[in-house]
Amino acid sequence: MFAVVGAVLVVALFISSLFLFHVGGLGEVKTTAEGADHGVVAPCVSPAEDGSKPKYLDSKSVTTRVLNGTKFSGFANAVGRALQNREFVVQSIDNYDNAKVERTTIVFGKNAIPQAYTLAANFPDAQLQMDDRQDKLVDVILGATFQNLTKTDELPKTGSEIPNIEGCKPANDMKDLPKAPEHTSVG
C-alpha cells in the first residue's frame, strides 16, 4: 500500500516539476506585445527650459495618492507605508472607484511628468497615463498585476537621466486627455 502511495507522489512531483521549471513551455503565461507601457501611450519626458535632460527626482519631492484598485483590503495601506519608507510624500491612501483594475497605473498631469517617471520606477508592472490635471499630484492605482515594489538597489539614482518610454508622445501632442478626478492640488 505504501509503495503505491509513494509511487503516485513521485509521479506527481515529477509532473509538477515540469510545470515549475517550464519544461517544454509548460506553465508559461502567454504575454502580448503591448509595448513598453503596456499598450497605453505615455508622454515623453521633455527637456528642461535650459535644454538639459530631465533627471530622476528625490522621492521627497514627489507627492502621491495611493489608491487600491483591487479587492484586497489593506493593500493600498501597505504599499503607501512602503512608499513613505522610501521617503515619498503620501497625501492619502484610499480605495479606487473600481476594484477590478488589472494593471497598476500611475496617473498624473503634464506638469508632473518627471515626478510620475520617478514614482513609476518603483513599480515594475505599472503603466503611465496622463490626465488633464494641472498640479503635481501623482496617483498610483494598484492593480491585480502588482507583486512588489522594485528593489531599492535596482532603482535609478536621484539625478540620473530619465529615459523616455518607447513609443511615447510629446505631452503637448497628447489630446483628449481623461478628466482628472477630484483631488487636493499639489503645487
Of residues 50 and 21, more confidence is placed in: 50
Q: Give the pLDDT score at 19.
A: 53
SS3 assignment, position 130: strand
55-69 per-position pLDDT tens digit:
999 999 999 999 999
Phi, psi of 105 (to 5 degrees): -130, 135
The CB density around residue 4, as the number of other CB atoms within 10 Å, is 8
Residue-wise pLDDT tens digits, 102-141:
999 999 999 999 999 999 999 998 999 999 999 999 999 9
User: Burial level of 139, CB count in 10 A (0-12/13-18/19+)?
Assistant: buried
Whether this prediction's pTM lies above 0.85 is answered by no
* Average pLDDT score over residue span 8-13: 63
Cβ neighbors of 59 (< 8 A, separation 6 or more) are 86, 87, 88, 118, 158
What pLDDT score was predicted for residue 33? 34
pLDDT at 40 over 90: no
Residue 138 CB burial class (10 angstroms; 0-12, 13-18, ≥19): buried
User: What pLDDT sits at residue 1?
Assistant: 75
**Predicted confidence (pLDDT) at residue 41 exceeds the cutoff of 50:** yes
Report the range of poorest mean pLDDT among 11-20, 21-30, 110-119. Answer: 21-30
pLDDT averaged over every residue in the chain? 85
| Higher-scoring residue by pLDDT: 4, 88 | 88
Closest by CA to 114, choosing from 164, 50, 180, is: 164
Residue 65: beta bridge partners? Answer: 92, 139
Residue 162 has pLDDT above 90, yes or no: yes
For position 143, what pLDDT does the model report? 96
For residue 177 the three cell numbers come to 486627455
